Amino acid sequence: MATHYEVLGVDPGADNETIRRAYVMVAKATHPDRRRSDDPERVARAEEHIRLANAAWNVLRDPARRAEYDHSLRREPEVTSSAPPASTGTGPGAGPGAGRDASAARPVPPSGHAVPATHLWRFAPIVVLLAVLLAILVASAYATSRDGQAPTSSVARAGTPAAGECILVAALSSGRTPVPVTCGTQGSYRIVSVVDTPRPCPSGSQQLPLSDQKTTLCIQSNS
């Protein structure tokens, strides 16, 4: 389950003003007036997210409640990592071998022996997938070096931004709009990821909601 900090898309060490701004951004993005044209599934997700955001803000805005919540987060790993002691086989109803280590029932190859070939076949799909991905990367690099220029940006080609591309943020009448540029352009931003509004962006990135009110770019400055 996401923590209050993850719901608002902020670091656990963020100050109160940063947390407040993140909450306001989520509240605006999930307002019912902006969701009238959405399908029921998106509306339901937005309602659930604003409910979680309200709960997070009610806790994190109060120093005492936030300190108590932070303390509970630090205690969770200790509670979940504890495990019940292994049975010793001496209690009532313990049958023969009840106290043995479960690993003793599994055959272990003698030291120095080769792993059976049937075990190696389990990794065959992973090896094939890695080989295909490597071939795609090599082919893309070759095509780029042959043409002398990078492939056309997906933002300019299909109107849909993609992670890894660089943009300038233009203030137009329709709102802040991404304009594709090369990553060396002064004042440009790199797209870290693309998420459905109102999901939060990764820590350290800024949110740029698009005019469709359904997509948010998570960007970082190149400067």
**Contact criterion met (CB below 8 Å) for 197 and 211:** no
Give the model's pLDDT for residue 143.
58
The tens-digit pLDDT sequence of the chain (223 residues) is 789 889 888 999 999 999 999 999 888 887 766 666 667 877 778 788 888 989 999 999 999 999 999 999 888 665 555 555 555 555 454 454 444 544 444 555 555 555 555 656 677 788 888 888 888 888 766 655 454 443 433 333 446 678 899 988 876 555 678 888 888 888 889 999 999 988 899 988 988 888 788 889 999 988 7
Give the model's pLDDT for residue 108.
52
**Contact criterion met (CB below 8 Å) for 194 and 216:** yes
Tell me, rounded to whole angstroms, the distance of Cα 207 from its chain centroid: 14
Give the model's pLDDT for residue 117.
59
Got the DSSP string for 102-158?
A: GGGGS--PPTTPPPPHHHHGGGHHHHHHHHHHHHHHHHHHHHHHHHTSPPPPHHHHH
Residues in contact with 16: Cβ distance below 8 Å, sequence separation at least 6, in sequence order: 60, 61
Q: Where are the domains of the chain?
A: 4-74, 154-221
- Residue 197 has which token pair? 């509004």
Q: Does domain 4-74 have CATH number 1.10.287.110?
A: yes
In order of 7, 37, 64, 183, 217, the CA distances from 178 in angstroms are 25, 23, 41, 13, 9
Distance CA 21, CA 11 (A): 13
Give the model's pLDDT for residue 202.
92
- Residue 54 has which token pair? 């309200």
What pTM, to 2 d.p., does this model score? 0.35
